[in-house]
Amino acid sequence: MTTVRDLVIVGAGAAGLSAAAEARELGLDALVLDEQPEPGGQVYRSVARVAERRPADLAFLGADYARGAELVAASTGGERRQGATVWQIGPAGRDGSREVIWSEAGAARRVLARTVLVASGAMERPVPVPGWTLPGVTTVGALQVALKQSAIYPAGRVVIAGSGPLPLLLAEQLRAARVPVAAILDTTPSGRTAKALPLLPAAALGAPDTLRKGLALLKARDRSGVPVWRHVREVRAEAGSDGALATVRFRTASGDEETVEADLLALHEGVVPNPQLTRLVAAEHRWHAAQRCFHPVTDPWGETTAAGVYVAGDGGGTLGARAAEASGRLAVLAAASRLERLTEAARDFRADPWQSRLRGERALRRLLDVMYPAPDWIAAPADEAVVCRCEEVTAGELRAVAGHAAGPNQAKAYLRCGMGPCQGRLCGLTVTEMIARARGTTPAETGYYRIRAPIKPVTLDEIASLDSEDAA
Amino acid sequence: MMRFDRLSSPGRARRISFLFEGQPVTAQEGDTVATALLAAGAGATRSTPASGSARGAYCLMGVCFECLVEIDGVPNRQGCMVPVAEGMSVRRQRGAAGVAEDVR
Ligand SMILES: Cc1cc2nc3c(=O)[nH]c(=O)nc-3n(C[C@H](O)[C@H](O)[C@H](O)COP(=O)(O)OP(=O)(O)OC[C@H]3O[C@@H](n4cnc5c(N)ncnc54)[C@H](O)[C@@H]3O)c2cc1C
Ligand code: FES
């Protein structure tokens, strides 16, 4: 017999951990499944181990990171499985419960869940610049992961290119760890501060702490002595004779071409929801024009249009770690009320502080959306840029068929883009935008790849293990 | 070529040794296969099925699949998701190793 749980939480980041804490406080039978070896997700990656074994590193990783250890501690008590990759959330059965299937240590396992919380987080926006596939080019987040998980840093000439809060945070973490940075290429277009100014009062009122820290990061970068190029465009990575990254070429604010030599280039153009699980359950998604990505449509508690499936944290739309904690709590309160384990009055009472935190962080996000706009060149990458990294489909090849493709799924059939192991995570948004541009329609009308289980590659052995479990 | 160094902060991480392309490599407790290979200066760790071009870890968070390696004889493992373990044998993944038969 397969067990039926009140709630299965996918992801043990800020959202999933605070959801687990709320579920425990409410006495729900919850199971947390997370594919990383340790809890913490992206922001709080490895935090419990770092706090215990490498406490000195907390000094450069920052107080906000250290706070994640409290979150991990508060979430314990219920069942949490690390190294558990969820690859299927089935349709609702007659009693409304859904089958959740995951792989763990080489075998597949399943449970039935009355409610499911997708807290699988966000990913950095794919940035198809020429040369982004070269060894030596990573995301900004990857360098943070390396620092947190393994206390390793890139030696040699490090170039950070991009826009948004995360490159600022990385620059500060590297400075505090005394890791030299050769250059920062800030791709934020000019004139954004003036445009964002009218949104400042609401952000200052709503999320004063987060805003203050952001401004401090900006100041720290500009005082750090690292050369900063502003309003940079047309970044491209070029290989040396060994086939790895050697040079970063870009256009300056005044339109001149410049180059810097680099051993490592870290790219970042904002964060977008990791869409696989909300797409898998066929929840409705809406195009967010300012962030240039799809968000799952939800009610105020985070319930998607797939009944009983909630989304919390940055998988529902980028709002950052503090907001993820709040939305994780809110989704569990709604699920508990749905399961008739909590009256609506009690739900609303407990929800109040989290709702007000969420409102505040949303006000800040509106400011950030204007300060750091999602890049519009994504709809028109250079011809030679690889769009689908797995199958090596270039922007030029895609452009040649984009006008005739009814949508991303047809482009996939023509070119194999989105058919590799990443299953379109690193090309989906680009393909949508390029087709929309070619056909003169909107990304909303163009849609996205159809996502089917398994959302991560699964071996036949793992599938077989599921059958033998049934036989037993 | 990119090289990663270890911060010399006083920690209590245990040392782990594993094999990369048959050669012994030292890692630290808490490393994933991908971060251990970065620290070991392994460079590119796979080549693509389509053109054979060289790739290395890109996201370190499980979404890009550029870190695919062969671990203890099993191809297509995401190096950034697998904790490194004593005695593990890791090899570069060349082209579409095993994709057709083993993984769907
Ligand atoms: C690389 C990166 C760095 C960031 N750094 C910061 C920062 O320093 N400060 C900040 O405020 N915000 C940061 N952000 C934004 C970040 O998205 C949020 O602040 C915060 O991490 C959101 O928490 P979350 O719980 O929604 O998601 P996450 O913290 O991303 O946690 C999601 C968890 O779900 C797991 N998961 C995903 N899919 C599956 C699956 N199929 N099966 C099982 N488990 C799965 C993931 O492995 C992960 O552990 C960063 C984002 C990224 C992508
Ligand atoms: S480096 Fe991206 S999935 Fe491992």
Please check the confidence at residue A367 and state whether its pLDDT lies above 60: yes
Per-residue pLDDT band for A469 (boundaries 50, 70, 90) equals low
Average pLDDT, chain A: 95
3 state SS for A201-242 = HHHHHHCHHHHHHHHHHHHHHHHCCCCEECCCEEEEEEECCC
d(CA A100, CA A120): 14
What is the pLDDT at residue B102?
38
pLDDT beyond 50 at B101: no
Decide: A229 and A250 in contact? Cβ < 8 Å: yes
Domain boundaries, chain B: 16-94
pLDDT for position B10: 59
pLDDT at A98 over 80: yes
Average pLDDT, chain B: 89
CATH topology of domain A4-123+272-342: FAD/NAD(P)-binding domain (3.50.50)
Share of chain A above pLDDT 90, in %: 93
Instruction: CATH number for A382-446: choose from 3.40.50, 1.10.10, 1.10.3210, 1.10.287.
Output: 1.10.10
Residue whose C-alpha is closest to residue A31's, from A81, A88, A99, A83: A81
A154 with B103: Cβ contact below 8 A: no
- Candidate from A191-195, A389-393, A464-468 with smallest mean pLDDT: A464-468
**pLDDT on residue B1:** 60
The domain made up of A126-269 is a member of CATH 3.50.50.60: yes
Residue A88 contacts residue A100 (beta carbons within 8 Å): yes
pTM confidence score = 0.96
Dist. CA A168–CA A171, nearest whole Å: 5
Ligand 2 centroid to residue A330 C-alpha, Å: 31
CA within 13 Å, CB half, A319:
26
What was the pLDDT predicted at A472?
Answer: 40
- Nearest in space to A332 (alpha carbons), one of A116, A34, A41: A116
Residues of A in contact with B66 (CB under 8 A): 133, 389
pLDDT of residue A147 exceeding 60: yes
Delimit the CATH 1.10.10 region(s) of chain A: 382-446
- Touching check for B30 and chain A: CB below 8 Å? yes
Which pLDDT does position A398 carry in this prediction? 96
Per-residue pLDDT, B15: 93
Report pLDDT digits (tens) over A5-27: 999 999 999 999 999 999 999 99
Q: Which CATH architecture has domain B16-94?
A: Roll (3.10)
Q: Which residues 332-391 on chain A approach chain B with CB closer than 8 angstroms? A: 389-391
- Rounded mean pLDDT, A127-140: 98
Least Cα distance to A277 among A296, A299, A262, A260 occurs for A296
**pLDDT given at position B8:** 77
Look up residue A261 and give its two tokens.
């030599």
**Tokens, residue A459:** 């071996």
Q: CA A223, CA B19: separation in Å to the nearest integer?
A: 44
Residue A179 exposure: Cα atoms within 13 Å on the Cβ side: 29
B47 shares contact with chain A (CB less than 8 Å): no
Q: What pLDDT digit, counting tens, does each position of A439-451 carry? A: 999 999 999 999 9
Buried residues in A87-110 as b, exposed as e (16+ CB within 10 A): bbbbebeeeebbbbbbbbeebbbb
Antiparallel, parallel or unpaired: β A386-388 and A183-186: unpaired
Whole-angstrom Cα distance, residue A21 to residue A10?
14
